[in-house]
Amino acid sequence: MKTNEFGKKLARERSYAYGDIIRSPLQEYLKLEHSGRIIKERVARLGADGIFNFTAETRVYPLKDDDIRLLDGWAGVSTFIDELRDLAREHLGGDSSHEVAFFNRVTTGVVSAVCALVNAGGVVLSAVPGYKSHPCAMKAADLAGARFVEVSSQDAKDVERAAGKIGKDLSMMIVCPSVKPQVFYASDGAFQSVINVGKRRGVPVLIDDASGATHRTVLLNQSPALKLGADLVITSSDKRGKYGPRGGILVGDRQLVRKVAAEAEQIGAEADSAKLLGIFRCLQRWDPEALRSEQRIGEEIRKEVAGRLGQDALALSSLGVIIPMENILELISARAGRNPADTGLVPVEASCLVAMILLEDDGIMTHASIGSPGATLSLRIKPSAEEAKRFGGPAAIAEAVDRALDKAAGAVQERARVSLALFGVAPEHAG
């Protein structure tokens, strides 16, 4: 049984332990609902300029004035779908031999792939270079009636050993090569060695490159996964410098993609006409310089935040600022004059508390405040250059983070105040 530093059991499908306030995915969802209420109130009072997106995900539909005519699910889509498929192949390093499919989000594409390609009783092997797999991988295995095995390691030998133990029951490999901006395979060779574990055994290898497809290739100068031998690659249309809706783009082996697309149509996971059009406009305007710009402003913000909190408080990251949830708890405990274990909070609660204060007081959206259940809940500050400037620049952002930590420290000993900040209700009413 895996536990955190306080002896709390890590939640299934999570890298963190629940506590007495955030006890399950239900409380994560209640927090998301409360975030929506805060955003609504700020927009009503200040307009859209009162909200600042620091998530590195845009979730917009960059449509043109006359695009309404293209939303027809039959005639409209038919006019751009071929060009969209070509753009998707180009974006993921594919060619004309590869098939393409689109989903309402990356996670539903992963679920569709596992349900289509894995038989009940089989084993899904998930390989990540550190941290944990996305919760959808384990959920997908559950839905398919398969067993789920995870290997978190930079070393392909560890993946090889796990595959050897599984033996003939191995049915599919899912590899997430860039789990977070600071967790990725160190080189093409290391990544390809992991892919080859599945290739040697003749099982489909799906690459969950939701953010890595651009992060790895643009910022780390690594190769597209298809060129390293992957059978299937899926990425997002709203992450890492892309300006588009939340959607999934799958490119790969023609026969496998068609099986996955057929499964998606049966379970309602396919992208509809509006999503397809949004992805089309997103890929048309994709420019790697947008991601490089995010990296540059992230470095400036990092310097300012480190100047206030100390370099050790931050995680290494090639994009933006990341303060691990464990460090958040230590920071607010120190400011409150307490030991972390005496606050009554677990790290995820501390991180979400600071994030919700940032949202309510400054309109700053982060994954720890608006992320869906299962999202990474460390405090991540990743604005575009435009959003950072609109807020007031790197120094103003660092000051806001510092203020939020102070405010969280003032609330840490009062369970009711923490619950009100997280959910908008007293703890007894939070599920």
Question: E-strand spans in 210-269?
Answer: 232-236, 248-252
Backbone angles phi, psi at 364, to 5 degrees: -85, 120
- What is residue 5's predicted lDDT score, i.e. its pLDDT? 56
Quick one: 378 and 423 in the same domain? yes
Domain presence at residue 187:
yes
Tell me the pairing of strands 232-236 and 205-208.
parallel
Question: Tokens 């783009």 map to which residue?
Answer: 249
Instruction: Look at residues 244, 193, 212 and name the one whose alpha carbon lies nearest to residue 93.
Output: 212
Residue 4 has pLDDT above 80, yes or no: no
Residues 341 and 259 in one domain: no
> Which of the four pLDDT bands, split at 50, 70 and 90, describes residue 1?
very low
Domain count, the chain: 2
Residues 375 and 241 in one domain: no
pLDDT at position 71 over 60 = yes
pLDDT at 374 over 80: no
pLDDT tens digits for range 17-51: 899 999 999 999 999 999 999 999 999 999 999 99
Burial 124-145 (b: 16+ CB within 10 A, else e): bbbbbbeebbbbbbbbbbeebe
Pair 251, 155 in one domain: yes
Amino acid at 357: I
Examine the fold and report which residue of 222, 244, 271 is the final residue of a domain before the chain moves on: 271
CATH number at residue 393: 3.90.1150.70
Q: What average pLDDT is seen over the chain?
A: 93
Helix/strand/coil for 139: helix
Q: What is the Cα–Cα distance from 192 to 97, expressed in whole angstroms?
A: 21
Q: Which residue has the tokens 């990425």?
A: 235
Residue type, 233: V
Distance CA 396, CA 199 (A): 49
- How far is residue 182's CA from residue 317's CA, in Å, rounded to a whole number? 4
Q: Which residue has the tokens 């997908």?
A: 140
- CA 274 from chain centre, in angstroms, equals 22
Mean pLDDT lowest among 6-20, 239-253, 396-410 = 6-20
Distance, in Å, from the CA atom of 195 to the CA atom of 214, rounded to the nearest integer, reads 19
Q: What is the pTM of this model?
A: 0.92
Are the CB atoms for 198 and 148 separated by under 8 Å?
no
Domain that holds residue 376: 25-54+288-429
Shared domain for 84 and 182, answered yes or no, is: yes
Question: For 309-328, how does the pLDDT look when each residue is reduced to its tens digit (9 = 90+)?
Answer: 999 999 988 888 999 999 99
pLDDT tens digit sequence for 251-303: 999 999 999 999 999 999 999 999 999 999 999 999 999 999 999 999 999 99
In terms of domains, do 180 and 266 share one? yes
pLDDT band at 136 (very low <50, low <70, confident <90, very high): very high
Measured CA to CA, the distance from residue 129 to residue 159 in angstroms comes to: 10
Q: What pLDDT score does 306 carry?
A: 97
The reply to whether 300 and 423 lie within a common domain is yes
pLDDT band at 132 (very low <50, low <70, confident <90, very high): confident
Dist CA 325 CA 334 (whole Å): 14
CATH code of the domain containing 113: 3.40.640.10
User: Are 174 and 87 members of one domain?
Assistant: yes
